[in-house]
Amino acid sequence: MPRKARLVEPKVRRRKTAAADPLVEAPTPVAAFTAEEMKYVEKHPDQRFVARSLTPPGVETCFGRKRTITILCGKCDAPRVIATSDAHHCRYCVACKSEAKKAARKAKNSDVTPAG
């Protein structure tokens, strides 16, 4: 007697969801930071760094030979990779930064009265 054919469902590859992305997990306990990252956390207490995101020089080619670290945006919690030398003045993601600059420029121009 021949074997019965098994019904086999085709294998489907599933994409990883955004929730599985380790960069999105915002609140990180201090113990998760490495010793070198703790230097930046202590030096910039108002900045929100992502744990284990400090990279050696030259890994991110767009930053040249600088070390990079990932921060979380102060408004929308989006991750942003910055050079460690920029950690003292970068607070927001690119989208929120351009919105803030546009609003500041608009406020500055509305204060200026035309001469005459």
Q: Which residues pair with 79 in a beta bridge?
A: 72
Indicate the domain borders of the chain: 23-108
Residues 6+ apart with CB under 8 A from 52: 32, 33, 34, 37
| Whole-structure pTM value | 0.62
61: pLDDT confidence band, cut at 50, 70 and 90?
A: confident
Of all residues in the chain, the percent with pLDDT exceeding 70 is 69
Model pLDDT for residues 95-105, shown as the tens digit of each residue: 999 998 999 99
